[in-house]
Amino acid sequence: MEKIKLFTPATIANVSCGFDVLGLCLDTIGDEMIIRKTNKKGVRITKIVGQNLPLEIEQNVAGVAVLALLEKVDTPYGFEIEIYKNIKPGSGIGSSAASAAGAVFGVNKLLDEPFSLQELIPFAMEGEKLASGTAHADNVAPALLGGFTLIRSYNPLDIIKINNPKELFATVIHPQIEVKTADARAVLKKKVTLKETVVQLGNLGGLISGLYTEDYNLIGRSLHDEIVEPSRSILIPEFDNVIAAAKKTGALGGGISGSGPSIFALSKGKLTAEKVGLAMAKTYKNLQIDFDIHVSKVNANGIKTL
């Protein structure tokens, strides 16, 4: 194989009660990438369409991720990368993760897969470190593995793929405002109470159990963040009203996607998810803020070859 074309999906991190440890992969929202082998060693990003992002390898998350991979494998080849961005940076649905994960996935395929999908995650995390200052995995893991992923531990890295109920759909509203990850981190409380921790652990356990048993009511009851969203939601206009409108329309529950500003809701069935999108849009229609609505099933497979 000399060339590969990929769909690199958007992702939702945290999923309410799973701050920094839980993520899910989307299906209808994502970037495309084309990666080619070259005879000249090294990595070049030759084209980025859709967003104004750096072509310089050391300043681009895809380039940094591939460099990390190439440090671990001896190859006579080099690689050229084209990126077609459909996920807006800063949207809260894993724009940098799509580029970093897609780049290492594609290069690994062209090298006849010396690494497993699990083994690619640390390389993609290096791209996330460039983007946000932290080598986190809650977006790149679901992008590479598909479905829901749980990060049990970062040291050592231990990531588990969680069962994906077949009728589960996500609706995402992306307000065209910027919430910087640094700002979203800055508003978080430095300490949490034992009571808050117990509530959060109960919800996380309930959500994992609901995903495995495909108990949609339990999933809905568990989509509650006791620790992070109360602080971060003040950065997102109409957050409480959007969640209330989604639930009233039939959503199981929802929350902030990543560090925002996108808001997600999970629903049983595509029809309900589409109705939830209309309700979310109605909540935003009187604001002087543009927005996008995305409806997607949970993508069980992650990145795919086109």
Average pLDDT by stretches of 10, the chain with 306 residues: 96 96 96 96 94 92 96 93 93 94 98 97 95 90 98 96 96 87 74 95 97 98 94 91 97 94 97 98 90 96 96
Q: Please indicate whether residue 181 is annotated as part of the active site.
A: yes
pLDDT at 286: 82
Q: Pick from 263, 55, 260, 258: which is nearest to 137 by CA?
A: 258
Q: Domains along the chain? A: 3-162 (3.30.230.10), 168-297 (3.30.70.890)
Q: Which of 32, 126, 128, 226 is catalytic?
A: 128
Count Cβ atoms below 10 Å from residue 231 Cβ, excluding itself: 14
Q: Which of 181, 249, 272, 283 is catalytic?
A: 181
Q: Model pTM?
A: 0.94
pLDDT at 144: 98
pLDDT at 301: 95
Q: Please indicate whether residue 80 is annotated as part of the active site.
A: no
C-alpha to C-alpha distance for 239 and 34, rounded to whole angstroms? 37
